[in-house]
Amino acid sequence: MIFALQLMDSNEVVEPPVRRRLRTRNQLTYAGVWRPTNTEETFFRVHVLASLRKGARAARQIAVPAMIVQAMILTLVLGYFYYPPAKEFFAKLVAFKAYVGPAFAFLSMGVIAVFVECLRRYFGKEKPVDSFWKSAGYGIVVLGFLGVMTDCFYIFQKWMWSGLSPTAQVPAKVFTDQFIYTVLLSNPYQTFLYVLKDCGFKPRAFVARVTPFKVFYVREVLAVLITNWAFWVPTGAILYTLPIDLQFVISRFAITIWVLLLMVMTRREKS
């Protein structure tokens, strides 16, 4: 999963442009040179490729914790198929999740938030300056509510696509998940709240960061969204093909990798 992003990187780094005092409406400053931005080729090169490269740099920074989580995922998958007690445990866990309801989604994402903070502090290339429990507590709240929203959305998806064959359900669920739910709700929710955290929860710093909004959206929200697609489209397709009892646990470990990526992506780059 994470290696697909790392392969996107190259020696040529294209940074997103910064809007200056524009001579015309359709021009941006790019490395001190005036260039038109009204063509699809320019937009793809400047914004999409730059976003992928930014995601690739983030992937390199979290490579060690990501490999640890991937090893854990592989162990769980092998245990499910080759160790009967593990298969029984996963079935009981899913049954307990259904019994508890949204509260379980909140609590499980809270556990992931604490796990992410441990990985970030012990294996991250840059040591955090904020306290462990302040950062983990914020993650518990943000990811907890995200978990509840996502859990409700998946229940809705299961009902909405129940008339399709199992094979047809996979692309339908991936499309609805990544290109409707993620674009309209999940991605903005995560990006804005983690940018707020990176700003030290200071309203003035946050407003300055997101102003002007069009530049902020292209440089940060769009970059996170494109990286999200690069990570979650293949990951989601794999998850939807797994047995139901295994999907929930594996998705939580996949979210661990994604949150590590997200925290790097929303961190202000040092000039």
Q: Confirm whether 13 is domain-assigned.
A: yes
Amino acid 165 reads S
Instruction: Give the domain extent around 103.
Output: 2-265
Given CA atoms 41, 43, 47, 52 in this order, what sign does their dihedral have?
negative
- pLDDT of the chain, 271 residues: tens digit per residue: 555 555 555 444 444 444 444 444 444 444 444 444 455 556 666 677 777 788 888 888 899 999 999 999 999 999 999 999 999 999 999 999 989 988 999 999 999 999 999 998 888 766 777 889 999 999 999 999 999 999 999 889 989 999 899 889 989 999 999 999 999 999 999 999 999 999 999 999 999 999 989 888 888 898 899 999 989 999 988 998 899 889 989 999 999 999 999 999 998 876 5
Cα–Cα distance list, 23 to 34, 106, 235 (Å) = 9, 50, 43
Q: Confirm whether 271 is domain-assigned.
A: no
Q: Confirm whether 36 is domain-assigned.
A: yes
DSSP 164: S
Number of domains composing the chain: 1
Task: Report yes or no: 202 and 195 within 8 Å, Cβ to Cβ.
Answer: no
